[in-house]
Amino acid sequence: MKLSSRIRQLKPSATLAVDAKAKALRAQGVDVLNLSAGEPDFDTPEHIREAAKQALDQGFTRYLPAAGLPELREAVCFRLEQDYGLKYRPEEVLITCGAKQALYNLAQTLLDPGDEVLIFSPYWVSYPPIVELAGGVPVIVTGRPEKNFEPEPEEILARVSERTRGVILNSPSNPTGCIYSREFLSAVAEIVRQKDLWVISDDIYDRLRFDGQPPENILSVAPDLRPRVLLVNGVSKAYAMTGWRIGWAVGPEEIIKAATKLQGQSTSNATAFAQKAAVAALTGPQDCVERMRRAFAERAEFLYQALKQIPGVHPVRPQGTFYLFADFSGIYGRRTPSGREIRDSVSLAEYLLEEARVAAVPGVAFGEDRFLRLSFAQGLETLREAVSRIRQALEKLAHVP
C-alpha cells in the first residue's frame, strides 16, 4: 500500500518518541528516570476532577457545537481578561482537542502552499511539521543563548520574503524555559507592522513563569496588533490536565469561524465532559496553579545549580515552564566505554539512556544540536538522582586522542 508523500516525509515527534522509549523500558522493569516528557507530575486538582465526575453523572456525554461549549468559550474570555486585561467575545474563541490542534487548525486555515512562516530556534518540535503539513515553508531564525535566545531584529528582517505570511512566538519557551523581553516583543511587533504579517502566540506556559510577573504576550506591548494576532493556549500545563486534551484558539472572528469550519470536518467538538472540567479550571480557585508554579521554580533552580557543577555542561537558567536547556557540546568528541564516539545530541541522549538510565530529548529536535532538554516535571529526589547518574555517566567518557 502506498502512503501519501506528506506522511512519508513527516517525522515522528522526538519528545513523544523518547518518552515512549523510556516508558517501554520502565514496563520491562528497567529503572529509568524520565526527564523527557512535558507533563506535570501533579494530579489534576480535585475540584476539576469533581466537575468532570458531575458532568458524567448528569449524562453530559453528547455532541456539542464544533466551536465548543459556550460556557467554556466564555470562561476563556474571562481568563484572558483576568490575566492579560484583554476583552474577547465567545465568537472569537474555538475550543480544540488540545493546544496542538489549535495550532494545526490555524496553520491549515491561514497557509497556502509555498507560504513561509518565521519560527525562532530553538523551537517546539511540532512547529515546523505543522507548517509543512499545511503546505507552508518553515523559515528558521536562530537565537543565541547569551542573548536569551532572542534573534536580532535585523536577522529576522533578513529572512522575510514576499512569501512570508506570519511568525510563531512561544514565551515562556519550550524547550529553553526563557521568556522573551518586552523589548524583543516590541521589535517583533514593528516587523509585523512593516511587513503585514500575522502572529500565532503560543501561550501554553504563560502561567508558569518564575519572575513573579503576570502573563505577557505580544499584545501586552502592541495591543494595536490584535487584528493580526491569534492566541493559543490550553489547560494541559498550568492545571496538570495533559490527558484531558482541551485547548483553544482566540482571535479575529473571521479566522476563528474558518478554523471552526475545518474542525467541523475533522474532530468536531472536543470531549464534552472534559470541557466542563476546563470551565472549573479556568473559573475556579487558582491557588493550585500557584502551588505547582512554586514547585517548578524550586526544581528549576536546583537543576540549574546542580548541572552547573558538572564539567563540560552549561545549563541555561529557566525563567519559566518546566524545562531546562543545557549545552553539552563540551562533552562531544569523547568516547564511551565501548568505544563509541559522542558526536552530537542524539548519540549523547542515547548514551545517557543506556548508561545512566536517564531519558532526555536531543536538542537537534528543537533546532539546536549542542543542547539537551531536561524536564523538571519530576520531584526533587528524582532530579537529584538523575543529576548524580548523569555525572557518573559523563565521568566514564574518555577523551579522543
CA dist 228 and 217 (Å) reads 13
CA dist 256 and 250 (Å) reads 7
Q: Is the pLDDT of residue 200 over 90?
A: yes
Q: Is the pLDDT of residue 15 over 90?
A: no
CA dist 2 and 11 (Å) reads 17
Q: Is the pLDDT of residue 374 over 90?
A: yes
26-83: per-residue pLDDT in tens? Answer: 888 889 999 998 899 999 999 999 999 999 999 999 999 999 999 999 999 999 999 9
Q: Please tell me whether the overall predicted TM-score, pTM, comes out greater than 0.85 for this model.
A: yes
92-124: per-residue pLDDT in tens? Answer: 999 999 999 999 999 999 999 999 999 999 999
CA dist 221 and 185 (Å) reads 7
CA dist 48 and 244 (Å) reads 11
134-187: per-residue pLDDT in tens? Answer: 999 999 999 999 999 999 999 999 999 999 999 999 999 999 999 999 999 999
Q: Is the pLDDT of residue 400 over 70?
A: no
pLDDT of residue 17: 77
Give me the chain's average pLDDT, please: 96
- As a whole-number percent, the residues of the chain with pLDDT over 90 amount to 91
pLDDT of residue 89: 98
10-16-17-18 Cα dihedral, nearest 10 degrees: 140
Break the chain down into helix, strand, coil percent, rounded to 5: 45, 15, 40
pLDDT of residue 168: 98
Quick one: average pLDDT of 223-241?
A: 98
Residue 58 in contact with residue 223, Cβ under 8 Å?
no
Q: What single DSSP character describes residue 209?
A: B
Is the backbone peptide bond immediately before 12 cis, with ω within 30 degrees of 0?
no
**Closest by Cα among 182, 217, 214 to 203:** 217
Residue 271 in contact with residue 239, Cβ under 8 Å?
no
